[in-house]
Amino acid sequence: MVGSAVMMAASLHGTLGQVVVSVAATLLVYWATERYADLLAAGARGKGLDRRRVVTALGRGWPMLQSSYAPVVVLLVASALGAELRSAVLTALGLSTVMLAGLGYDAARRRALAPARALGWAGLSALLGVAVIALKLVLH
């Protein structure tokens, strides 16, 4: 979600390269601050911060970065195939929305919710992506 929001905002006035760098830099900063907060909380709870605990904490946050790869790859591929930046960003945001829906569905099913309820969660999750796309369309 963070990557999609940054992609949308950076594309309003930036080039393809600026959008990609903005997304990567922002996600790295978010990842680092989230991981730091996790380690700080562990220290505040009296847990020692040995090397193993630090490596484990850093790894737990890795999926946030991994989830941004596919939309950025789609952005780059769409651009390489000749799409204008606006269209390439919308394509990447569309993929991100589908991914959000899938993650919402998967999370609900892992909680043993019925398929119909899981579809509801998928729809609610997708609405976050739709909101970013709508914002992109309104602002650009």
Average pLDDT, the chain: 92
Q: Is the pLDDT of residue 140 over 80?
A: no
User: CA-to-CA distance for 105 and 102, rounded, in angstroms?
Assistant: 5
- Contacts of residues 79-83 at CB distance under 8 Å and 24 or more positions apart, as own/partner, are 79/16
Task: Return the higher-pLDDT residue of 83 and 2.
Answer: 83
Gyration radius of the chain's alpha carbons: 17
Q: Quickly tell me which residue has 């700080």 as its tokens.
A: 40
Q: Sorting pLDDT into bands at 50, 70 and 90, what band is 45?
A: confident
Counting residues of the chain whose pLDDT is more than 70, the rounded percentage is 100
Tell me the whole-structure pTM to 2 decimals: 0.84
**pLDDT-based confidence at residue 44 (cuts at 50, 70, 90):** confident
